[in-house]
C-alpha cells in the first residue's frame, strides 16, 4: 500500500493519466453547442433578448471578478482544491440548467460556469507541480490533446444524437451532467502536490530540514509547543508575502521585454474578441435560421472548427519562419481575416455561410494564439509563462467586460445581435490595423538595418 501511495505522489504517469481522464470528461459536453436553442426552446422558454442580455453577460463579469483571486488561490492551495472546485462548478451549472426555472436559475447556472472557467488555471498548472522538468513537454501535449478530443467528441456525439436519433436538447444536457459528474469524482483521485510555483516552492526542503533537527524535549525550557506553532505561522506568513513579492518582480521583468509586449498585447486583445464572438454565436445562428425550420448543426460545425483550428495550429508549429521579424505582420494579416469573417457572419442571411465564417474565424484565432504562445514560452521559464498566461487572460477578460458593458448592457444603445457582430468585426479590424502598421514598420526597420550592416 505504501509503495502504491509513493507511486501516486512521485511518479509522473499516474497524475498525468488521471488529469487527462478528468480533462476529457470535463470537456465532453454534448449539450453545450445547443445551449441557446435549449434555453429559448420549450424546456426553458426564455427569449433571445433574455439570453443575450441577462444570462450570458453574467459569465463575463464572473470571470472578470474571480480570475485573479482564483489564480492566487490556485497556487496557495496547491492546485488540487481548485480543480475539484472547477468540477463542482460545472456540475452545479448543468444541474441548474436542467432543473432550475426562469431567468434567475439560468443566471446562477452561468455564474457557476464562470467559476469553473476561472478555475481552468488550476488544470493547466497542476501538472507542472507533480512531474519533473524533463516530462513537461510530453505531459502538456497529453493534457491539452485530451481536452481537445473531449470537446470534439462531445460536439460530434451531440450532433449525431440530434440529427440521427432525434434526441431532445434536454437529454443532451442529462448526458452532459453524467460526464461532468464522472469528472468531478475523478478529481479526488489526483495526488496532492507537495509544492507550487510561488507560495510553496520550498515546501519539501522545509520539511526535510525539520526532520534532521535534533529532538528537544518540550519540558526542557528551550522550546515550547506554542513557539513551534508561532514559528509555523510566521513561516507561512513569510512564504505568502515572499510569493506576492516574487509575483510582482516577475511581472515587471516579463513586461519589460519589448519583444514580448506585442505578442502579449495581441493575446489579450485577440482573446477578448474571440470570447465575445463565441459567447454569442449561437444567438446569432438562432436568428439566422430558427431551429423550428431547420435541423441544427451547431455541434458538427463546432467539432469541425475545433479540428480545423487544431490542424492549423499544428501546421504553424512546424513552419520554419522568422517570427521575430514577421510575427507582428502575420498577427495583423490573420486579424484582418478574422475581421472579414465576423463582418460576413453579420451581413449574410445564409446559415451555411455563417457556419463557414465561424470555422474560418476559430481556425484563424487558434493559429494566432499558437504563435503568441510559443513566442512567449520560448523566452520564459515555466513559472513566468504561467504568470503571463494569467495576466494576459485577466487583461482579455477585463477588456471583454468593458466591451460587454458597452455593447450589450448599455440601455441607450439597444444594439441587435447583428449590430453587435458588426461592432466585433470593427474591433478586429482595428486590431488588424494596429498590428499591420506595426508589422510593416518592423519589417522595414530590420531590412534597413541589415542593408546598413552589409
Every domain of the chain and the residues it spans: 1-195, 252-453
Q: What are phi and psi of 188, to 5 degrees?
A: -70, -15
**What pLDDT sits at residue 165?**
83
CA angle 262-265-267, nearest 5°?
110
Distance of CA 248 to the CA centre of its chain: 23
**What pLDDT sits at residue 241?**
64
For helices 261-288 and 382-407, angle between their N-to-C axes, nearest 10 degrees: 40
**What pLDDT sits at residue 214?**
36
pLDDT along the chain (454 residues), means of 10: 51 84 94 92 90 92 89 79 93 95 94 92 75 70 82 92 90 96 94 68 41 38 43 52 64 68 88 93 86 74 86 70 76 93 93 93 87 73 68 89 87 82 95 91 79 72
The torsion of the CA quartet 366, 368, 374, 380, rounded to 10 degrees, works out to -110
Euclidean distance between CA atoms 141 and 154, whole angstroms: 20
- Per-residue H/E/C for 137-168: HHHHHHHHHHHHHHHHHHHHHHHHHHHCCCCC
**What pLDDT sits at residue 338?**
94
**What would the DSSP string read from start to end of 255-303?**
TT-TTTHHHHHHHHHHHHHHHHHHHHHHHHHHHHS-GGGS---HHHHHH
The CATH class of the 252-453 domain is mainly alpha
**What pLDDT sits at residue 94?**
96
Given a contact cutoff of 8 angstroms between Cβ atoms, the answer to whether 27 and 154 are in contact is yes
**What would the DSSP string read from start to end of 77-115?**
TTSHHHHHHHHHHHHHHHHHHHH--HHHHHHHHHHHHHH
Euclidean distance between CA atoms 334 and 340, whole angstroms: 10
**What pLDDT sits at residue 381?**
63
The CATH class of the 1-195 domain is mainly alpha
Given a contact cutoff of 8 angstroms between Cβ atoms, the answer to whether 334 and 364 are in contact is yes
**What pLDDT sits at residue 67?**
85
**What pLDDT sits at residue 411?**
72
Q: Would you state the cell numbers that stand for residue 143, as one nine-digit string?
A: 493534457
Q: Would you state the cell numbers that stand for residue 157, as one nine-digit string?
A: 456525439
Q: Do domains 1-195 and 252-453 have the same CATH topology?
A: yes
Cβ neighbours for 86, distance < 8 A, ≥ 6 positions apart: 26, 115, 116, 119, 120, 122, 123, 187
Amino acid at each position: 500500500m505504501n509503495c502504491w501511495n509513493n507511486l501516486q505522489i512521485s511518479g509522473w504517469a499516474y497524475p498525468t493519466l488521471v488529469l487527462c481522464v478528468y480533462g476529457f470528461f470535463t470537456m465532453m459536453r454534448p449539450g453545450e453547442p445547443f445551449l441557446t436553442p435549449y434555453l429559448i426552446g420549450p424546456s426553458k422558454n426564455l427569449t433571445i433578448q433574455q439570453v443575450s442580455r441577462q444570462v450570458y453577460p453574467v459569465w463575463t463579469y464572473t470571470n472578470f471578478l474571480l480570475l485573479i483571486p482564483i489564480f492566487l488561490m490556485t497556487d496557495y492551495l496547491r492546485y488540487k482544491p481548485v480543480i475539484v472546485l472547477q468540477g463542482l462548478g460545472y456540475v452545479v451549472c448543468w444541474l441548474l440548467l436542467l432543473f432550475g426555472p426562469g431567468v434567475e436559475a439560468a443566471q446562477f447556472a452561468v455564474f457557476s460556469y464562470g467559476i469553473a472557467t476561472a478555475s481552468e488555471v488550476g488544470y493547466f498548472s497542476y501538472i507542472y507541480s507533480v512531474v519533473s522538468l524533463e516530462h513537461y513537454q510530453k505531459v502538456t501535449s497529453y493534457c491539452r490533446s485530451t481536452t481537445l478530443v473531449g470537446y470534439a467528441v462531445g460536439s460530434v456525439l451531440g450532433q449525431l444524437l440530434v440529427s440521427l436519433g432525434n434526441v431532445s436538447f434536454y437529454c443532451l444536457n442529462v448526458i452532459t451532467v453524467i460526464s461532468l459528474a464522472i469528472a468531478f469524482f475523478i478529481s479526488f483521485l489526483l495526488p496532492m502536490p507537495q509544492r507550487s510555483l510561488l507560495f510553496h516552492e520550498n515546501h519539501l526542503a522545509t520539511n526535510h530540514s525539520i526532520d534532521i533537527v535534533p529532538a528537544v524535549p518540550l519540558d526542557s525550557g528551550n522550546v515550547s509547543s506554542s513557539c513551534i506553532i508561532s514559528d509555523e505561522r510566521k513561516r507561512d506568513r513569510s512564504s505568502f508575502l515572499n510569493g506576492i513579492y516574487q509575483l510582482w518582480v516577475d511581472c515587471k521583468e516579463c513586461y519589460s521585454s519589448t519583444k514580448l509586449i506585442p505578442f502579449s498585447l495581441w493575446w489579450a486583445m485577440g482573446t477578448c474578441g474571440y470570447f465575445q464572438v463565441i459567447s454569442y454565436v449561437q444567438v446569432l445562428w438562432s436568428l439566422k435560421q430558427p431551429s423550428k425550420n431547420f435541423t441544427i448543426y451547431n455541434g458538427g460545425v463546432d467539432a469541425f472548427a475545433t479540428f480545423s483550428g487544431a490542424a492549423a495550429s499544428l501546421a504553424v508549429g512546424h513552419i520554419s519562419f522568422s517570427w521575430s521579424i514577421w510575427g507582428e505582420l502575420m498577427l495583423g494579416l490573420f486579424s484582418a481575416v478574422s475581421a472579414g469573417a465576423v463582418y460576413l457572419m453579420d451581413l449574410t442571411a445564409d446559415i451555411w455561410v455563417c457556419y463557414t465564417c465561424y470555422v474560418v474565424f476559430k481556425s484563424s484565432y487558434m493559429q494566432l494564439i499558437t504563435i503568441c504562445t510559443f513566442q512567449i514560452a520560448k523566452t520564459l521559464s515555466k513559472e513566468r509563462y504561467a504568470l503571463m498566461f494569467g495576466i494576459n487572460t485577466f487583461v482579455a477578460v477585463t477588456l471583454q467586460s468593458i466591451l460587454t458593458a458597452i455593447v450589450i448592457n448599455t440601455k441607450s444603445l439597444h444594439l441587435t445581435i447583428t449590430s453587435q457582430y458588426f461592432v466585433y468585426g470593427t474591433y478586429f479590424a482595428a486590431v488588424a490595423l494596429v498590428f499591420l502598421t506595426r508589422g510593416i514598420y518592423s519589417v522595414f526597420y530590420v531590412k534597413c538595418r541589415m542593408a546598413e550592416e552589409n
